[in-house]
Structure 1
Amino acid sequence: MIADKVLTPGSQPVDERDVGGYVSEHSNIGSQSETSKGEDLLAEHGQDPALSSKIRLVNNAIDELGWTPYHTKLFFLNGFGYAVDSLVMLLQSVIAGQAFREFGEVGYATAMTIALYCGMFVGSLFWGLGADIIGRRHAFNFSLIICCIATIVAGAMPNWPSLGLFISLIGFGAGGNLVLDTTVFLEFLPGNKQWVVTMMACWWGIGQAITGFFAWGFLVPDQWNCASVDTCTRANNMGWRYVMFASGALVFVMSVLRLTLVQLKETPKYLLGMGEDEKVVETFESLAKKYNRPCSLTVKKLEACGVTAVNSTTTGFSIGDTLTHIRGLFVTRKTTVSTLMIWLSWIMIGLVYPLFYAFLPNYLASRGADLDVTPFEKWRNYALTNVSGVFGPFLAGWMCNIPFLGRRYTMLIGALLTAVFFFAYTAVRTKDQNVGFSCAIGFCLNIYYGTLFAYTPEVLPSAHRATGNGFAVAGNRVMGALSAVIATEADTSTSAPIYICGALFAGLGIVAAMFPFEPYGRRSS
């Protein structure tokens, strides 16, 4: 049986070609998680027995195949989705001020934030459920294309309401990317390379940095940015539109690359749930032949495991299908606790992080901080802060493979460090201190956030993974929209919310340390 034949990283038939040499160089990091029977994370936690047996065989086949250039392509092209999500999430906050000024400052000032989060809420649920029902492949490709079109069109909008509509459509597409990038990548990864999902969050920082550089380039020149609502017209306020056009063009290039370079195959674990055993074997045989790797998996071995229960109940979009995938996240007490704690974490960080920065400026001003900056300094600092977030996931990827840390304590450390800098930030009085603490928070936050992004799909059952991931992100987006309302209506000069946000962030770390499952050394089911 293939379950008894698992190749270690050092016994691959050909040399591994990895992400910039990093994965190969650190293969020994994952050696403790070389897999065998019984090491699948959710094998003993209420998953359909037939599906669980098939997943064990497929996980062994993935380990046998090892890391290939196909995985390298996925790292970059799925990473594009990460980058697009963070880019478009920041776009609305970057361009909203100038756009609001051009449109006469009539309407709700934080409407773009609310529009984005509403779109992402709907997108997370739609694409999450859709990916479990109709498959990962189509949702993966279409969501990025929607982002591309909506971003370009948004830059041509003539008024505040129409801009809000297309910002919400951007969020709708981005909601799918965020759910599917980690899901698709994880379901192709060998067990001892699952830590790369954590490192992939570096693309989140790259997307934020790109937004910062676009803002720095287009929102500084006077000829493109009006200074007063009284004199503001489309002709002298093109800067925010150029930001949208440039961003949309970049997303278009990423969309084309995803469609042409990777030729994404449907993930084997989704096909298992659908009872498509022949297609599962075809996928592995195709990759094995292309990259000169062994493949011992056969249709006969899969069929011997029986018929999966998920396949017997899934026929397409319906209320019944939706409930099936939701119920699948609460099969046992332990999986129920795990699902609810993950969702709680996403909800908490969706509220805490944006609220902290909403209340912070007025708090610092009331304490005598001199943070007045020129437009050039503002967007330069913005770019520097976002660049710092690129490196947190690299550290997180290394930390989560240290035996006594794993994923849970990596999140604990990242959250506690972020909380420390949150509290220390209240002592900022100069512009240089502001930049330094912002960069430190960007780095530490992405240790936590990057690991949470990877941990969430790792501990969810494969047949319902996209649904669980989608609901987690959706909860985050509801809180993001709520934070925009609170920031507009509440008294931002009081100090209490600052300290509450810092304490809640420390609480996020404690919650992470108490998660029921530790994926370190185990394969995702």
Structure 2
Amino acid sequence: MTPPDPVGTPTSRTERLDSLPVTRRHVRLLGGSGVGWALDAMDVGLIGFIMAALTTHWGLSHTETSWLASAGFVGMALGATFGGLLADRIGRRSVFAVTLLVYGLATGASALAGGLAVLIVLRFVVGLGLGAELPVASTLVSEFAPRSVRGRMVVILEAFWALGWLAAAVIGAFVIPLSDDGWRWALALGMVPAVYALYVRMRLPESVRYLESKGRHDEAERIVVDFEESSPARFRFGTAATGRAGDGPDAPAAQPAQAAQAAQAASGIWSPALRRRTAALWTIWFCINLSYYGAFTWIPSILVDQGYTLVKSFTFTLVITLAQLPGYAVSAFLIERWGRRSTLATFLAGSAVSAGLYGFAGVEWQIIAAGCLLSFFNLGAWGALYAVGPELYPTTMRGRGTGAATGFGRIASIIAPLIVPPLLVVGGMPVLFALFGAAFAVAALAALSLPELRGTSLAER
């Protein structure tokens, strides 16, 4: 039984969560999810450095190393699709625990691989765990975050990706070049923190909306009370939400009741009420995956091909990676000021321009400058995208909707490493990065067709 509001109207648990300030429980939830998110990013980021190292130490061709990268993304595509389905069936937290265990053990085993074939198989298994975790993490944070700062909190969660990728760049620059087996030590380091992340994740609460959808109301009530009794966080994420969706001078007009009811009653993510937003979201996911993984997975190897040493190539990549952090920070600030759609489209357009500039970069300062711009805009777009996805779907299909979009996008991440070697042969850097820029531009146009949902409750979808 939920308590009434001051005027006697029953208040749902969703509304009670939406009206809370950011508490220490919110911060703990965000931190626990973010640790795992950063570890995922570190694992994905390491593969680019490992590809470059194995090309040098094992004498692998670019075609062989491209299959190494794609195998992981095949696993991520399957993991994202089925992880979302599982999250809607057995709960967000349970999927967290399983995926961390799978990817942690497979990463450790990868460090012992004696040949390319074994390494490819293990990278596929690692991808299964990584792919299933990412959409589930953003869904869980979205379902607990207060309405007025929900987008910002998800972008902050996504910012942990930059920390993980930065850790991968540091390991790439200072561990992998130490010896021929440096890449093995890098993978071993990727396994150790997974044990801690598993411990943290088991302490996270289950989604209240998920529990209610399964009839587990007593458990849901205990979790909501726990958040209500938690003390406020020491730092602010933004203005606390008050009242119902659409209240406040800066909130957008609430969705028409008929449209909200249609979304709630939708039979699937491709039903008439949801098909337009699903098509746009899938387009964005495909295009951003193609460009991001095509570029950032190959940048270390491309720099080596241009004559730079492993150490210098990895150092350049480390500097470029640092630009991800301000990209996330600006995106987190703008997403509650400009709204989801405008922020996402702007950062995607900036990514398109930056990709074009990188394609024509010739000297060192141009490579670093264009790479930093690409890193800034691209990762800011990623942050906004993860904030947008969970808001587009009702509770009963939120995990499924975000997971399916992520899974479809992973198809592009599978293709991306494979198309880079032939495109470099045919047209070089200008043609390759022109393709990436075009993909970003298409994604920006698709973003403009999404509904603007800033300030609305997740129950109003």
Answer whether TM exceeds 0.5 for this pair.
Answer: yes
Worse-matched range after superposition: 485-494 or 107-116: 485-494
Corresponding residue for 2:418?
A: 485
TM-aligned CA deviation for residue 520 of structure 1: 1.1
Output the CA distance in 2 between the equivalents of 1:489 and 1:470: 31
Write the deviation string for residues 308-360 of structure 1: whole angstroms up to 9, x where unpaired.
xxxxxxxxxxxxxxxxx994323443x22111210111012222334456898
Corresponding position: 1:266 with 2:209 = no
TM-aligned CA deviation for residue 361 of structure 1: 9.9
Q: 1:118, 1:478 within 8 Å by CA — same for their partners in 2?
A: yes
TM-aligned CA deviation for residue 468 of structure 1: 1.0
Output the CA distance in 2 between the equivalents of 1:63 and 1:408: 21
Corresponding position: 1:109 with 2:62 = no
Q: 2:354, 2:373 within 8 Å by CA — same for their partners in 1?
A: yes
CA spacing shift, 1:140–1:461, aligned 2, 3 Å: same
Matching of residues 39-188 of structure 1 within 5 Å: 57-99=12-54, 102-103=57-58, 105=60, 108-188=64-144
Corresponding residue for 1:502?
A: 437
Output the CA distance in 1 between the equivalents of 2:155 and 2:301: 35
Q: 1:119, 1:168 within 8 Å by CA — same for their partners in 2?
A: yes
Aligned-pair identity (%): 22
Name the aligned partner's letter for residue 191 of structure 1: R
Output the CA distance in 2 between the equivalents of 1:115 and 1:362: 18
Output the CA distance in 2 between the equivalents of 1:105 and 1:265: 45
Corresponding position: 1:390 with 2:345 = no
Q: 1:414, 1:445 within 8 Å by CA — same for their partners in 2?
A: yes
Name the aligned partner's letter for residue 338 of structure 1: R
Corresponding residue for 2:455?
A: 521
CA spacing shift, 1:364–1:492, aligned 2, 3 Å: farther
TM-aligned CA deviation for residue 250 of structure 1: 2.7
Name the aligned partner's letter for residue 175 of structure 2: F
Output the CA distance in 2 between the equivalents of 1:113 and 1:443: 23
Corresponding residue for 1:308?
A: none
Corresponding residue for 2:282?
A: 343
Q: 2:42, 2:167 within 8 Å by CA — same for their partners in 1?
A: yes
Q: 1:270, 1:462 within 8 Å by CA — same for their partners in 2?
A: yes
Gaps of 5+ in 2: 234-264
Which among 340, 358, 363 is matched to residue 407 of structure 1? 340
SS at match of 1:67: coil
Output the CA distance in 1 between the equivalents of 2:388 and 2:37: 15
- Greater helix fraction, Structure 1 or Structure 2: 2
Output the CA distance in 2 between the equivalents of 1:344 and 1:353: 14
Corresponding residue for 2:377?
A: 444
Corresponding residue for 1:34?
A: none
Name the aligned partner's letter for residue 192 of structure 1: S
Corresponding residue for 1:256?
A: 199
Output the CA distance in 2 between the equivalents of 1:363 and 1:101: 13
Corresponding position: 1:277 with 2:226 = no
Which among 406, 409, 413 is matched to residue 473 of structure 1? 406
Matching of residues 308-457 of structure 1 within 5 Å: 327-333=267-273, 335-355=274-294, 372-402=307-337, 405-457=338-390
Q: 2:359, 2:434 within 8 Å by CA — same for their partners in 1?
A: no
Output the CA distance in 2 between the equivalents of 1:326 and 1:240: 48
Which among 442, 446, 454 is matched to residue 511 of structure 1? 446
Output the CA distance in 2 between the equivalents of 1:239 and 1:364: 19
Name the aligned partner's letter for residue 457 of structure 2: R
CA spacing shift, 1:431–1:3, aligned 2, 3 Å: farther
Output the CA distance in 1 between the equivalents of 2:320 and 2:6: 47
Corresponding residue for 1:41?
A: none
Output the CA distance in 2 between the equivalents of 1:406 and 1:469: 19
Output the CA distance in 1 between the equivalents of 2:453 and 2:112: 46
Q: 1:348, 1:476 within 8 Å by CA — same for their partners in 2?
A: yes
Output the CA distance in 2 between the equivalents of 1:442 and 1:187: 28
CA spacing shift, 1:357–1:238, aligned 2, 3 Å: closer
Name the aligned partner's letter for residue 88 of structure 1: D
CA spacing shift, 1:130–1:362, aligned 2, 3 Å: closer
Corresponding residue for 1:210?
A: 167
Worse-matched range after superposition: 383-392 or 499-508: 499-508
CA spacing shift, 1:358–1:269, aligned 2, 3 Å: closer
TM-aligned CA deviation for residue 156 of structure 1: 0.8
Gaps of 5+ in 1: 7-36, 38-53, 225-236, 294-324
TM-score (normalizing by structure 1): 0.74
Name the larger-Rg structure.
1
SS at match of 1:401: coil
SS at match of 1:98: helix
Q: 2:300, 2:317 within 8 Å by CA — same for their partners in 1?
A: no
CA spacing shift, 1:104–1:432, aligned 2, 3 Å: closer
Moved over 6 A (4+): 357-365
SS at match of 1:108: helix
TM-aligned CA deviation for residue 109 of structure 1: 3.0
TM-aligned CA deviation for residue 122 of structure 1: 1.5
SS at match of 1:518: coil
Output the CA distance in 1 between the equivalents of 2:458 and 2:58: 50
